[in-house]
Structure 1
Amino acid sequence: MPRITAVPATEAGPFLKLFYRVARKRFGAVPEPMAIAAHHGKLLRASVIHELLVEKAAATLPVSVRELAVYRTATQLGCSWCVDFGTMLQRLDGLDIERLKKIDDYASSPAYTEQERLAIAYADAMTATPTSVTDEQTAELEREFGRKGLLELTYLIALENQRGRMNSALGITDQGFTSGDACRVPMP
C-alpha cells in the first residue's frame, strides 16, 4: 500500500480529470505514481510533459534495446510497479515478454542480441551503487550505437533510476498492468 494515497477522480480538477481520462484510454488505468504525484499539481504537469517529450525524443535506439535497459533497471532496483508497467509497454510494442523471465541470464541466453546484452550490462553498471560504468564500456556502446544512442541509453537508464527510487520511497508497488497468466512476468 502506498505511503501517500492517490488523488481520487472525484476530487480532481479539470486538468487532472483530463489526465485521468487520457491515461485510462492509453493504459487501461491511471498509473498510480501519477495519481499520487497529483497532490503536487505543478510537479505532476512537469512530469507528464517530461515523459511525453522523452517518449518522442528517444527514437535513436532500437525499441527492444531501450525497453530492455529500462526494464533491467527496474528489476535491479526492485521496483515492482516499474516491472509491471514496463512489461505492459513491451507487450504493447509487440516485443517478446516471455524472454523477460530469462533476463538474469542475459549474458548467455540466446533470447538476447549482442546490442541488448550491451544495454542490459550498462543498465546494471549505471544502477549499481556506486556506479560501476567503465571507459571501455562507454566506448563500446558509442561504437555500437553512436554518440546520440549512448546519450539516449544513459538518459533512459538514469530516468528509470529516478522513477524506481521514487516509487520505492513512496511504497508504490505493481498495479496489475500485466495481470493474468498470459503476460505476468515475475520479478527476477
Structure 2
Amino acid sequence: MRAITRIRHYTQAVRQAKRNRSDLFGWLRRRPLVLFGTIGYESALLFSNRLDPKLKELAELKTAGLINCEFCLDIGSALARSSGLTEQQLADLPRYRTSDAYTDLEKLVISFAEAMTATPAIGIEDLRTELLTRLSKTQLAELVATIAWENERARLNQGLGVRPTGMADGMACALPERPAK
C-alpha cells in the first residue's frame, strides 16, 4: 500500500514540474544501461516498505541538502509533504539538532544521514548501534540503502547539471545547506 501511495505522489509531483522536465532523462537515455539500472534501484527502494517513509524522506532531504542538489531538494520537498513531514520540519532541517520539530528517532536518522554523507564517513558505528536499538536490521538496511542511493542520485544530478523543475513551487521546500562562515 505504501508503494502505491508513493507512486501516486511521485506521479503528481512530476506532473507539477514546470521547467527542465527532461534534464535527467535527456542525459540518461544516452546510456540505456545506466537508465535501466537507475529505474531498477529506484523501484527496489520504492517497494521496500519496512521503514517509515517519513524517516526515509528526512534522510534523503538531509543528504540532498548536504550535497546541495537542488533537483533532489525540489522533488524531495514535494514528496515529503505526502509522507507526513510538516513545513516546520522542512524549514528546520539545517538546524535539526536544536529544533523541537523532530522526535529523537528522527534526529538520530538525520544524524546518520549526515555521517554517511560526510567524506570521509564519520561516527557511523555509534549511530548505527544506537539506531539498532530503535529499528530492526531490516529497517536499518533500508535506511542505509536509501541514504547511499541519495548520495549517488544527488551527485549524479550535480555532475550532469540537472536543475530543479518547480515540483515544490508554492509549498515549503527544504533549503540547501549553507557552509558556515
Change (3 A) 1:184 1:107: closer
User: Which has the higher Rg, Structure 1 or Structure 2?
Assistant: 1
- 1:27: which partner in 2? 14
- 2:46: which partner in 1? 55
Q: Does residue 173 of the first structure (1) align with residue 179 of the second (2)?
A: no
- 1:103: which partner in 2? 93
Q: Identity of paired residues, percent?
A: 30
* 1:143 alignment partner, one of 133, 144, 149: 133
Q: How does 1:74-85 map to 2 (within 5 A)?
A: 74-85=64-75
Q: Does residue 45 of the first structure (1) align with residue 32 of the second (2)?
A: no
Contact 2:73 2:173 in 1 (8 A): no
Contact 1:87 1:185 in 2 (8 A): yes
TM-score normalized by the length of structure 1: 0.79
* CA displacement at 1:31 relative to structure 2: 6.1
CA RMSD of aligned residues (A): 2.0
Runs of 4+ in 1 over 4 A off after TM superposition: 23-26
Unaligned runs of 5+ in 2: 1-9
- The CA distance in 2 between the partners of 1:160 and 1:132, in whole Å, is 17
TM-score normalized by the length of structure 2: 0.82
Aligned residues: 164
Deviations 1:58-109 (A, max 9, x none): x122121111001100000111110011001112334323421111221121
Higher relative contact order (CA 8 A, sep 6+): 2
Unaligned runs of 5+ in 1: 1-22
- The CA distance in 2 between the partners of 1:31 and 1:133, in whole Å, is 38
